[in-house]
Amino acid sequence: MNARFASLEEIDCPMPSGDWEPDIDRTRALEHISRLLLNLKPLDRQIMISYLEEMDIASIADITGLSAGNVAMKIHRIKNLISRRFLEEQHHV
């Protein structure tokens, strides 16, 4: 169940030119994860976007007004939630 999260730059990067064909499954997975992120509560979405932008937990805590421990716990729980939802929806497709 090791889910890899992509940074926003990876999701929004332009496709390279040439004979390269995109990995459609990977592209669909990234789009699916993006939709799952958009469906989070605003605070949770802010935390995860900051995390995906490689902000440290102390900085995220300063921005959100939460303690660093609370931010770390939220990140852990949100990652598990997104992973579960992703896998559940993949089984239903």
How many domains does the chain divide into? Answer: 1
CATH number, position 62: 1.10.10
Does residue 13 form part of some domain? no
Domain with 59, as residue range(s), is 24-92
Residue 3 lies in a domain: no
pTM over 0.75: no
pLDDT 10s digits, 13-43: 555 555 545 566 888 888 888 899 999 999 9
Query: Which band of pLDDT confidence, cut at 50, 70 and 90, is reported for residue 86?
Result: confident
Position 5 in a domain: no
**Quick one: DSSP state of residue 5?**
P
Kindly report, residue by residue over 39-65, the tens digit of the pLDDT. 999 999 999 999 999 999 999 999 999
Tell me what pLDDT residue 24 has.
Answer: 67
Is pLDDT of 69 > 90? yes
Q: How many CA atoms lie within 13 A of 21 on its CB side?
A: 2
Q: Where are the alpha helices (DSSP H) in the chain?
A: 8-12, 24-38, 42-52, 57-64, 68-92
Note whether residue 67 is domain-resident.
yes
